A = this chain, B = another copy of it.
Amino acid sequence: MANKRILVIGGSAAGPKAASKARRMDEHADITIIQKSADLSMASCGYPYYIGGFFDNRDMLLCSPAGVVRDSNFFLNAKNIKAKVQTEVLSIDRVHKTIHVKDLKTGQEEDLPYDTLILTTGAIPTRPPVEGLDLDGITTLQCIEDADYLRKIRDEKKVTKAVVIGGGLIGIETCEALQLAGIQTSIVEMMPQFLAFLDWEIAKLVENLVRSKGVDVHTENGLAAFMGEGGKLTGIKLKDGSEIPCQLAVLAIGVKPNNKLAKEAGLEIGATGGIAVDHYMQTSDPDIYAAGDCIEIDHLLTGQKVHAPYGDLANLQGRVAGENAVMGNTVTFSGTTQTGICKIFDYAAGTTGLTEKSARKNGFKDIVTVVNASADKPGFMNGKLLVTKLVADRVTGKILGAQCVGPGDVSKQVAIWAMAIMGRLTVTDMVNADLPYAPPFSLALDHSIATAHLMQNKIKGRLKGIDVAELKAKLDSDKPPFLLDVRGEDEFEAMRLGVGELLIPLGALRKRLAEVDQDKEREIVCYCKISLRGYEAALVLEANGWTNVRVLEGGLMAWLYPREK
């Protein structure tokens, strides 16, 4: 029997993974990767850190764990995989099972036959339909050439002002990189918040941090046009008419699946624009698999198809496609909970499962949310803040999603909740989770467990929470609640809302109940730094006859509006 011919179109993440897995499944297959760009296996998620100067050696973006650059020679020698770089695929002929390619260096074209084809054509950055898009100084951060361009700008130190268009993952990471490079950076987001994978009040905490680092932030304000002189970018105009002068603009308003070849070949394309595949990563043509940013996949909680362009999923899907291309359909990739994380200066922000917003949008009706703020470790081990918003189903108690931000160990928190969702765990399961505890790594009650405790108290009706947005609206209304801060006097001196709240330290509350509004039906909101004491205060008030007591969730650490101090 002749050796199986496997062609892989795309050489970034999913493609090389699929090719390598196919090789491990079949030493004798003919495996070829076709890559339009000159480089292969680029660690594209690392671009912002290269630009930001976290490391200087560009080769590190292209290296195997052993430090060898993964070029065509590497693939040929270590894996016996041919990699044709700087080669563009022009079309797929499904009837004759060939692809038509063009060598971009020589201009020569040829047909390559396949038994099985794997499409890993990735995604392409969305470009807004505005004037001036071709001015010099406008880029995306999609390919390694973009990273080279931005790194050069960093090293040359000529650009002084930059604008990042889009406050998603890539936008935020690029914004940090440019600001760290000493470039005064503005960031423009059309929606009311950054990072759509967070709920508004959590995203605002990130926005506040970004502002505090000197970044000029514009939300609810879209790009109207690029402005230039002599072919060079000089600034941007926003939808509200204002202008921001700049010599550099980075477009990061999202990506869409690169489905061109697949579409032209008549493969089924999903509603998201992603190539339709089953759990085997097989397209509507049984001889063609697809993986990575060019496909759409199942959301494991909603059952909806989603486009989830994440590097980790691309690798997992590539592995499945590579094995099935050789072995027939034996392994599956079932879908995503859209788990993600990004670094933002000294914060991280992560998410898994559904936000409150996305849960409601997807028809989950009886959901309950809670916000918890606490340190990740004890104070004596330099614990750092974490703020988590947890979303659960009120009836079943099932965990639907969690978002976490802060300078603390966000990565572990998000991993814990991602695993909880994967195991279909409930709040009741999580309240007694057996997690690794020692002071260098966590509190005795890990932040995730404490969050589950709050959620349990909320579901049982013991904790009547109010979120910062609702409280702010009430404070701005003509019927503001009675605000009770129960921290210590020194804490109050150092930091406070200053909106007319009363301070009664928790330790004095039982003796000073007379100072609280004696209208037992008046709405009272208790809080402290993180609302642990606030919760205890609320229970004291309720036991003494107050009937409308609520606790500010996350306390002052979740307060995203200006404070008196």
Contact = CB atoms under 8 A, between A and B. Distances in A.
A438 B316 contact: no
A174 interface: no
B418 A415 contact: no
Given A46-B381, A312-B445, A380-B46, A418 B436 contact: yes
Contact of A313 (B27, B66, B429, B434): B434
Nearest to A20: B536
A48 to B, nearest CB: 8
A347 to B, nearest CB: 11
A431 B507 CA distance: 51
A470 to B, nearest CB: 24
Contacts of A79: 536
Nearest to A340: B436
A437 interface: yes
B436 A411 contact: yes
Contacts of A543: 27-28
A540 B453 CA distance: 53
A544 B57 CA distance: 38
Nearest to A80: B510
Interface stretch (A199-207, A256-264, A371-379): A371-379
B78 A440 contact: no
Interface in A40-61: 43, 45-46, 49-50, 54-55, 57, 60-61
B441 A348 contact: yes
A449 B508 CA distance: 51
Interface in A414-445: 414-416, 418-420, 422-425, 429, 431-442, 444-445
Number of copies: 2
Nearest to A169: B438
Contacts of A419: 415-416, 419-420, 423, 425, 433, 435
A337 interface: yes
Interface stretch (A85-93, A148-156, A515-523, A525-533): A525-533
B49 A439 contact: yes
Q: Chain A: interface residue count, which band?
A: 35 or more
A438 B380 contact: no
B49 A434 contact: no
A410 B432 CA distance: 21
Given A419-B423, A432-B333, A439 B43 contact: yes
Interface of A: 13, 24, 27-28, 43, 45-46, 49-50, 54-55, 57, 60-61, 63, 65-68, 74, 77-80, 300, 310-316, 319-320, 332-334, 336-343, 348, 350, 352, 374-375, 378-381, 409-412, 414-416, 418-420, 422-425, 429, 431-442, 444-446, 449, 453, 462, 487-488, 491, 506-508, 510, 528-530, 532-533, 535-536, 539-540, 542-544
17 contacts: A27-B544, A54-B380, A55-B380, A66-B488, A74-B507, A77-B510, A78-B506, A78-B507, A80-B510, A311-B444, A312-B442, A312-B449, A319-B453, A334-B432, A337-B434, A341-B441, A423-B424
Closest 6 CB pairs of A and B: A423-B423, A27-B543, A419-B419, A77-B507, A341-B436, A312-B437
Given A13-B444, A65-B375, A300-B434, 10 more contacts: A27-B540, A74-B507, A77-B508, A80-B510, A315-B445, A348-B441, A350-B436, A409-B411, A419-B433, A422-B433
